[in-house]
Amino acid sequence: MTIRMFDLCGADPERRFSPFCWRTRLALAHKDLDVETVPWKFTDREAIESLGAQKVPTILDGEKMVTDSWAIAEYLEETYPDRPTLFPNGKGEVNFIRWWSEAVMTVGVASLILKDVYDHLDPVDQPYFRESREKRFGRTLEEVQSGRDKGVKAFRQALTPLRVTLQHQQWVAGSSPGFADHMCAGPFLWARATSPFRLLEADDSLNDWLNRILDSYGGVARSAPGYD
Amino acid sequence: MTIRMFDLCGADPERRFSPFCWRTRLALAHKDLDVETVPWKFTDREAIESLGAQKVPTILDGEKMVTDSWAIAEYLEETYPDRPTLFPNGKGEVNFIRWWSEAVMTVGVASLILKDVYDHLDPVDQPYFRESREKRFGRTLEEVQSGRDKGVKAFRQALTPLRVTLQHQQWVAGSSPGFADHMCAGPFLWARATSPFRLLEADDSLNDWLNRILDSYGGVARSAPGYD
């Protein structure tokens, strides 16, 4: 049965950018599950609230609704245990990577591309996005992004643990990819979908891993609209 | 058979402070192995070079020499598989925590306590320590440490992934402690041994985990000389 996934989109419904939706998209692809993505905008509240969800990613697997990328990964692992595992080493230390990817990567990338994300939104979503994000950051979108030529250096530095790990092993999860990889890839795919700004220098060894992610699962991420 | 462990010490041979030696001390205790620690100073080159090692921690298990805290953990896990595991979830994502603990915690703590560490060294070690660390940091020990009242705020902020993880589970490794915990504890035990400076605010939830570490394994860390 095909799983339906509500997936954040921009003015172009094919432009899917949420770092959390990308986690789920990669997790579904990793499990080799059929998926039909449903383009969803911030202001499409009713479409998911009627299912009992407040935000995306949200999936419908038959009658079963699951929301939140971590909860979806756990659901997929429990429901489809015979398919490739998302947690090849259990979940113990993966939790740390979950919070690292959010505190360092999601917050870090946001500060570099927030205005670019805004520019890709459907005009109907823009007022909500501006208001909620400016409240969260305590500055205008333009101010948040204005220091990015300097800010990107600190961001690249903060990626040191990820970079060094991937100089020692092929995937964040070890010798095969897992949800730890999907969580770390999400923020990069968010930026790729919305911004020409280069998060990584061309000679950053992290590009090797990111290219492997982009080409995995039949190139589900590579073939999505974005800046290459 | 008792394992011998070369363990960095200060002017007081009972003051053991190396964050990497603490990893090994906790790992040995976790495996419930008998250990005889040998106080070692930076300038005691000959004592370990004659064994083929360049730095501590170095252990001697019978005739077998193993050096480097990560290599020692791997050795203990392979050699004593029937004792409590250091890697309850394998090593995949533990590698990430290894590099995070070094890039964020060891470097971060160093900038807060480096002069205090120096003050605890045997005078014979002080010239080597000052020269090598000042070269590494590009500043005097006094300069490195001088901004710590401000720097500690950024350090505490950088601990967010560790803090949030430990709000969701008892140990970094999950429901039971592992080498991931020992690696993250090392820098705290380094500071505890050498500096009255408070890395954490009194109400930081990380104190709960750190207290569990200090009291584990018969209180091997709690009973060591340090600032409480």
Residue of A nearest to B95 (CA): A165
B96:A91 CB<8 A: no
Contact list in B for residue A169 (CB cut-off 8 A) is: 92, 95
Read off the pLDDT of residues A143-188 as tens digits, 9 standing for 90 and up. 999 999 999 999 999 999 999 999 999 999 999 999 999 999 999 9
Among B92, B160, B165, beta carbon nearest to A89: B92
pTM: 0.96
What's residue B228's pLDDT? 84
d(CA A50, CA B59): 62
For residue B59, the cross-strand partners are B5, B66
Kindly state whether A88 is in contact with chain B, defined as any CB-CB distance less than 8 angstroms: yes
The CA-to-CA distance between both ends of chain A, in Å, stands at 33
Residue B41, min C-alpha distance to chain A (Å): 29
Place of tokens 């909860």: A71
d(CA A59, CA A6): 6
CATH annotation of B94-219: 1.20.1050.10
Question: What are the C-alpha distances in Å from A48 to residues A44, A53, A123, A191?
Answer: 8, 5, 20, 25
Instruction: Provide the sign of the torsion angle of the four alpha carbons A214, A220, A222, A227, taken in this order.
Output: negative
d(CA A176, CA A164): 17
d(CA A139, CA A154): 19
Dig out the tokens for B183 from the structure. 């690696």
Average pLDDT in chain B: 97
Contact list in B for residue A161 (CB cut-off 8 A) is: 96, 99-100, 103-104
The pair phi, psi for residue B55, each rounded to 5°, is -155, 175
What is A94-218's CATH topology? Glutathione S-transferase Yfyf (Class Pi); Chain A, domain 2 (1.20.1050)
Looking at the predicted structure, is the pLDDT value of residue B182 above 90?
yes
**Arithmetic mean of pLDDT, B118-130:** 97
Q: Which residues contact B65 (CB under 8 A, 6 or more apart)?
A: B51, B52, B53, B58, B59
A96:B92 CB<8 A: no
B99:A169 CB<8 A: no
Domain B3-79 has CATH 3.40.30.10: yes
* Domain extents in chain A: 3-79, 94-218
Among A103, A168, A180, beta carbon nearest to B93: A180
Kindly state whether A113 is in contact with chain B, defined as any CB-CB distance less than 8 angstroms: no
Looking at the predicted structure, is the pLDDT value of residue B1 above 90?
no
Looking at the predicted structure, is the pLDDT value of residue A28 above 90?
yes
**Arithmetic mean of pLDDT, A192-218:** 98
Read off the pLDDT of residues A39-94 as tens digits, 9 standing for 90 and up. 999 999 999 999 999 999 999 999 999 999 999 999 999 999 999 999 999 999 99
Residues A187 and A17: beta-carbon distance below 8 Å: no
B88:A91 CB<8 A: no
d(CA B117, CA B111): 11
ipTM of the complex: 0.95
